[in-house]
Structure 1
Amino acid sequence: MEIGHKIKQLRVQKGLTLEELASRSELTKGFLSQMERNLTSPSIATLNDILEALGTTLAEFFKEEKQEQLVFHKKDFFMDERGQYTVHWIVPNTQKNEMEPILIELPPGGESFQMNPHSGEEFGYVLEGSIMLDCGEERHTVHKGETFYLLGKTSHILKNDKKTKAKVLWISTPPLF
């Protein structure tokens, strides 16, 4: 970690000049300038004084910020081949998120797992082929380019009764897959 660079970022964020920070922390402008360019290092006590002048603490300053991943590539995906369907987990570790997307492939005659009633919602987009959505006592055909949206209050399942493979982008909130 480049302490000086990070201090400079904090100082600039706070809208302070070197002179103002020097005055607040009772240090010289020259020392702070050298420190920001990583030419010198402050003692723990001096660093604490600087951070206090910047309105933060040692703990906050050194806290590692986990970078949130925004884009997921094919190398991040993993596949789970099951008896009558294949699940592609296209966003890893979604159990901690508000929603969970999967790509499910149903071969001819295949069907997904049974979704039992839950308090969430689900959305699906048929990317390839067509599927039957059995939702409680109702049955709906959903073709390529069409979507479904349902509350999780009834059990439901996706089935492929055609002779070609079906692919569905299926999103659940909260994560249930």
Structure 2
Amino acid sequence: MTNHHDPRVRIIERRTLSDGFIHLEEITLEQDMSGGGTATLTREVHDHGSAATILLFDPRRESVVLVRQLRVPVLLQGDPAYMIEAPAGLLDDDTPEVAICREVLEETGYHVDKATHLFDAYMSPGALTERTSFFVGLVDVTEKAGDGGGLAHEGEDIEVLEIPFDEAVAMIATGEICDAKTIMLLQWAQLNRGKLTA
């Protein structure tokens, strides 16, 4: 097997270790080293698909809509298991814009007319294939299209929060918001505040 993206790297073998909620593979590859010679490496790679996330901003109230939900890996680290985050979800064969609008409605009950794409980022490229598309969308928090709270059949129990923007930014420093995608979106909004309130 070869990798057509970079001639310095050749995939030798791919072996599935788990194919449940996530797909976990063991990858054996050869890498041409910058100092000369070749190294054989083995890496475990976790793939559960690409994702999208969005910052919901109410320009009239200067607040953001975030969600709080259970995150088992965080629980295992000994940190508070219910994390405050921007709405997000897997693409499930949709485009990122379609997927994030679906997730927003499911998780928060808000309908987003237009999700504006900001950038894409790999969230943990040392072990995960996941590429996340980041969006911003304007909402009026007084106008909900649904109940939100997530999908019961997926075991979701999501709390919807409206937080003043400046307070949400301050929650990064206190550690109350420690989710990477949410921090990235709030910092983008801090740098581009004029675009949100214009």
* Band the TM-score falls in, shorter-chain normalisation: under 0.3
TM-score, structure 1 as length reference? 0.21
**Structure (1 or 2) with the greater strand fraction:** 2
TM-score, structure 2 as length reference? 0.20
Larger Cα Rg: Structure 1 or Structure 2?
1
